[in-house]
Amino acid sequence: MSNLIHPEVYSKILPAKKLVILLHGVGSNGHDVIKLVPYMKNHLPDCHFIAPHGIEPYDMASHGRQWFSLQDRTPYIMKRLLGRNVPPVNEFIKQKQIALNVTNKETIIIGFSQGAMMGIYLTLVQMEPFLCTIGFSGLLVAPSSCINTMTPICLIHGMLDTVVAVDAIEHARQYLFDHNVPCSTHKLEDLSHSIDHRGLNIAVDFIKKSGLNQ
């Protein structure tokens, strides 16, 4: 990841007090999810946004990036690949935190689709909790051990999603409940595998409330 130039948007208030990591979906790249920032930054003026490109080239097309391969979607294979690929993502986040003089407690993870899978997994294996994590249209792949139960997680999913069925949100909610992880879920009508203004409003409100609860 270190040899790529990752799109970022500086906070309106300097120096930044919080870091937002935006994780894109499979076959996409950071330029796609950084486009969400104009809809959020006025509400989150102390946040620095960065959208890293996935750690691997997309292996089912000639362009795009991925966080791990989806050629084999067997749960234990996805768990193994996520576990293998979390360390470089962690390292990227740590380097950005050092540059901004923030910690996990001031870091927000937002992921879409495969980015949500990485973001949730990454959150659950942290030694120090993030401020909060938000997953759009994602699937929870459970780690072997749920280490971090302190980060509040918000899950948002379109009810017309045909890529990742909306039932995935219930599986994730149950897992998080069983492991005492604070969680809120939102099913949005008339929305497919996408992010709309309703989801962004929910995300902004969740970030604000998480900051107040620090």
* Active site annotation includes 46: no
Residue 25 DSSP label: P
| Residues 112, 22: Cα–Cα separation, whole Å | 8
What is the residue-wise DSSP string for 146-173? -----S-EEEEEETT-SSS-TTHHHHHH
In b/e form, how buried is each residue of 173-212, taking b as 16+ CB within 10 angstroms?
bebbeeeebebeebebeebebebeeebbebbbebbeebbe
* Active site annotation includes 11: no
> Among 184, 193, 194, 196, which one carries the catalytic annotation?
193
What is the DSSP pairing of strand 132-136 with strand 153-158? parallel
> Among 24, 157, 161, 210, which one carries the catalytic annotation?
161
Is the bond leading into 182 cis (omega within 30 degrees of zero)?
Answer: no
| Residues 180, 206: Cα–Cα separation, whole Å | 18
* Active site annotation includes 171: no
Residue 54 DSSP label: P
| Residues 54, 67: Cα–Cα separation, whole Å | 5
> Among 28, 113, 137, 210, which one carries the catalytic annotation?
113
Instruction: Find where tokens 């986040």 sit.
Output: 93
Q: Which residues carry out catalysis? A: 113, 161, 193
